[in-house]
Amino acid sequence: MSLPLELCCPACRGPLAAWGVGAVCQACDRRYPGDRGYLDFLPELGAAAGDGLGPRLMHSRALARVYERVWRPIFIAAASGGLPDYRAEFELVLSALATAEGGAVVDLSCGPGFTGRRLAESGRFERVFGLDWSLAMLARAAADNRGLMRLVRGDVGHLPFKTGSIAGAHAGAAFHMWPDPSAAVAEVARVLRPGGGFVASTFAYTRGLRRKFEAMLSQVGQFHVFEADQLRGMLSAHGLVDFDSERRGSLIFFWARRAGAPAA
């Protein structure tokens, strides 16, 4: 099995070598299995789901089966106050990742692989990685993958990619469930090459009736709701510049790029 050049050991950032259908770190000798349709960089954690109802739901096999068709549309509609417009959302993602064309991109917290597969099918990128923590979500993604993505199990706070090796990153409707969003942004900034784009969607505070919805979210556990300026500051603190955003009710799409000019 050939390993993508962008990958490295998330524990020590050492180089990887093929090990059967998995990988082994040539620096610290950690071994990562790859026999379930994805390379598992968290084999010691099993199906650990984290704290709170929200993270536990993301590890549910039942939810993984209906996530794309039922759960995500309902959740997005409740937050935005209207039906999801996947075409417009995907066009926004492609626009934010324009500087990544021809390079490798990663769909963070990829879930069952809905957006990652579409990124791969667009033909605009050399390689598309789908990364998630959940065994259930990755099993669903692997079943539907058709060889489109390179699936990996990993932690957004310790990404298994070499510094400056990724041309673009996307995180759809997941940022709010990351345990430490700022630490994850620091990792995104580390792995992005200069000029590389980052685009994500999450929940932001609004005035009016949707405050009840936001209050409910905060009770789910390990769930963050942001101010737009808070997101801008977080990304800027880690070298992500040219921040911009678009609001749809409580849902906010935001994007920025890694400081510096892309390599010629």
- Residue 249 has a pLDDT of 81
Tell me how far apart the alpha carbons of residues 189 and 157 are, in angstroms, rounded to a whole number: 11
Q: pLDDT tens across 173-187, in order? A: 889 889 899 999 999
Residue extents of the structural domains in the chain: 38-258
In which element (H, E) is residue 18 found?
strand 16-19
Within 29-165, strands assigned E span 31-32, 39-40, 104-108, 127-132, 150-153
Which residue type occupies 150? Answer: R
> For residue 213, which of 185, 184, 176 has the smallest C-alpha distance?
176
pLDDT tens for the 264 residues of the chain, in order: 689 999 999 999 999 999 999 999 999 999 999 999 999 999 987 555 455 545 555 565 655 565 566 556 666 776 667 777 888 999 999 999 999 999 999 999 999 999 999 999 999 999 999 999 999 899 999 999 999 999 999 999 999 999 999 999 999 988 988 989 999 999 999 999 999 999 999 988 876 545 555 555 555 556 788 889 999 999 999 999 999 999 988 889 999 999 987 765
Residue range 38-258, CATH number? 3.40.50.150
